[in-house]
Structure 1
Amino acid sequence: GRIVTPAPGSLLQRGDLVFGAAGTSPFAGGALAEFTIADKDNVVRVPDGVSLLDAAAVPIAGLTAYQTIVPRVKKGDHIFINGGSGGTGVFGIQIAKAVGCHVTTSCSTPNVELCRSLGADVVVDYRKGSVAEALKANGILFDHIVDNVGSDDMELYWKCHEFTKPGAVYILIAGSPSLSGLVENVKMKFLPGFLGGGQRKLEGFFTSKKAADLTQIGVWMAEGKVKAVIDSKFSFEEAPKAFERLRTGRSRGKIVVDVASETYEKSWSG
């Protein structure tokens, strides 16, 4: 959106086009509104050449992908991203490639070509069998794993020592809200390996709203190294339909609600 009233001490000015995270609470958003408040450190200018629609698709998925990958890998590392065609996964593939990683990802049959087009070196179709067994058969030992999917039985985590290097970290972004899923998470996190616990370090994740990370993603977008993948766009009045689409769990990339871009572009240009 556009800055209407800059915060005291902010380098942003009235009229600047910005993207980032709205709201002032760490537990709630606030972007689904015609006017909103944002912390001055949570938004940055939209780079030249990047559309507002694409910029709007970045948070929080782009930040999550960035923070679970960039600080934890180096050029040449092998990374596996479970769930490459969702909102976080599409950014994860591109960001991992931007920093020089070899990327393996998983998705369903209809999304294989999408993941390849984003730069994935190897794509595992989970509809054809166990992802864990496919990774083991591929023979790649991964330096890092990001799981955007999770599952009740968490087979991928329990078997990840068979296809990761010692010292690899397994980051679980998504997880099952069921009781069995909770029990599995407790076992994975706290039960020692010699008592039947996991053999690789498991970490949960909470995204931080960092201007520097947003800026770097914006630079990559302007350079053409990272792009937003838009599954669908809804008007402000259609917002409930956007949430219905989100609940299906079948989106390819990001779902965007266009609050009033045409109205406000006309008002500012006029």
Structure 2
Amino acid sequence: MPKATPPPLFPYNYPENPTLPRLKSLFANPITYTSATMKAWQYTSANGVLEKNLYLNENAAQPSQALAESDVLVEVISMGLNPADYKLAEMGCVAKVMIRTPATPGLDFSGRVVSTGSAMDSLKIGDAVFGRLDPTQHGTLGQFIIARYDGCALLPDGVEPDQGAAVGTAGLTAYQTIVPNVKAGDRVFINGGSGGTGTFGIQIAKAMGCHVTVSCSTGKASLCRELGADEVIDYTTTNISQKLKENGQIYSIVVDNVGTSPSDLYKAADDFLLPQGKFVHVGGAASLESARIVAKRLLLPGVLGGGKRKFEVYSTKNKHDDLVQIGQWMMEGKVKAIIDQVFEFGDALKAIERLKGGRNAGKIIVHIT
């Protein structure tokens, strides 16, 4: 493991800020390394559910590969869970081909830099950072990770580590599906407004000056309105597709975070998306039904009953500048992470069970350090 010198006691200029007690305490002591091991939740089998395969290893091997020029070694403070964390680890033979075991799940993180690659000049030892990993053997449910520059940015002044850890996948997905496709005054429809991606999406669309319509359940409607949604469609009482048709061809983009419900949403978009509008498919369970719906949306021509609007299946990409902009909005108070529940490191299994239950409003965070 690359050597690290102790970071400054507290890298920012707000040691008296009462909203940052945890970050202040974490930076109160310099990092010291006396072994090549770390604590990490790991799995060796990708068959069955992750909760049954995951175990706590107090002496797991730290990432040992040499840092590339633009890499940073990060001690994780907090991590944010995503459905991809368990979906990938439950893919059987596919998972084993993609990721070596024993493996640690987790993509999203906040932490502090403990070592840098030779060409890294924008991030320094001791910096507080946040970001996202691509799927890897050493995920963020472990104490140390190697992050690439594209997936890592400075944690802005005044932003708590838990807030930073919640950004990663959900924040980048919301940003990249909305920002390149809208301008001020456009109308956006977000299917699934109360989850991690949806809550970021509402705020990012509002930061861009858009009118926002979302779908959610009755119990989460107030949350979506508080975040800035101009119109909320309650899917438990209202036919989403019909309601949007009644609104007319006014929307510039649809971001479908649900993926499978309503199943006719893409075809119905002919009647509520502008002719030049785009339908972006984000969500959906890893199932045959989900695959069938995506295939139909992609392949069925309009003349045979398919949708006519531009259709895109989205995949999240790590991009440093996007993280920086999200961080800037967070520092300005325009965007915040909605955190459903926070778990301590020893309760990681409970955190995954909470995520799988599907009742969370916002992100689920696990404290690592």
Q: TM-score, normalised by structure 1?
A: 0.91
Question: Take 1:204 and 1:163, find their aligned partners in 2: how far apart are those partners?
Answer: 19
What is the 5 A alignment of 1:27-66?
A: 30-66=139-175
Gaps of 5+ in 1: 261-270
More helix by share: 1
Q: Is the Cα contact below 8 Å between 2:188 and 2:253 reproduced in 1?
A: yes
Gaps of 5+ in 2: 1-110
Question: Take 2:290 and 2:124, find their aligned partners in 1: how far apart are those partners?
Answer: 47
What is the 5 A alignment of 1:98-247?
A: 98-139=207-248, 141-151=250-260, 154-247=263-356
SS, match of residue 292 in structure 2? helix
Question: Take 1:200 and 1:169, find their aligned partners in 2: how far apart are those partners?
Answer: 6
Question: Take 2:226 and 2:261, find their aligned partners in 1: how far apart are those partners?
Answer: 30
1:3 paired residue number: 113
1:257 paired residue number: 366
Question: Take 2:247 and 2:345, find their aligned partners in 1: how far apart are those partners?
Answer: 45
Distance 1:219 1:192, change over 3 A: same
1:267 paired residue number: none
Query: What is the letter of the counterpart of residue 99 of structure 1?
Result: M
> How far apart are 1:80 and its partner, in Å?
0.2
Equivalent pairs counted in the alignment come to: 258
Question: Take 1:224 and 1:19, find their aligned partners in 2: how far apart are those partners?
Answer: 17
> Highest relative contact order (Cα 8 Å, sep 6+), 1 or 2?
1
Which of these residues, 55, 67, 85, is aligned with residue 194 of structure 2? 85
SS, match of residue 255 in structure 2? strand
Q: Deviations over 1:146-170 (max 9, x none)?
A: 0000116622112111111112111
Which of these residues, 13, 34, 52, is aligned with residue 124 of structure 2? 13
Q: TM-score, normalised by structure 2?
A: 0.67
Q: Which range moved further: 243-252 or 209-218?
A: 243-252
Q: Which range moved further: 26-35 or 100-109?
A: 26-35
Question: Take 1:231 and 1:58, find their aligned partners in 2: how far apart are those partners?
Answer: 13
Question: Take 1:235 and 1:210, find their aligned partners in 2: how far apart are those partners?
Answer: 29
> How far apart are 1:215 and its partner, in Å?
0.1
More strand by share: 2
Query: What is the letter of the counterpart of residue 2 of structure 1?
Result: R
> How far apart are 1:33 and its partner, in Å?
1.0
Q: Deviations over 1:41-97 (max 9, x none)?
A: 321111111111111110110000000000111111000000010010000000000
1:264 paired residue number: none
Larger gyration radius, structure 1 or structure 2: 2
Distance 1:175 1:59, change over 3 A: same
Question: Take 1:178 and 1:114, find their aligned partners in 2: how far apart are those partners?
Answer: 29
Q: Deviations over 1:218-240 (max 9, x none)?
A: 00000000011000001111111
RMSD: 1.5
Q: Is the Cα contact below 8 Å between 2:337 and 2:363 reproduced in 1?
A: yes
Question: Take 2:360 and 2:187, find their aligned partners in 1: how far apart are those partners?
Answer: 26
Question: Take 2:249 and 2:331, find their aligned partners in 1: how far apart are those partners?
Answer: 32
Q: Is the Cα contact below 8 Å between 2:241 and 2:262 reproduced in 1?
A: no
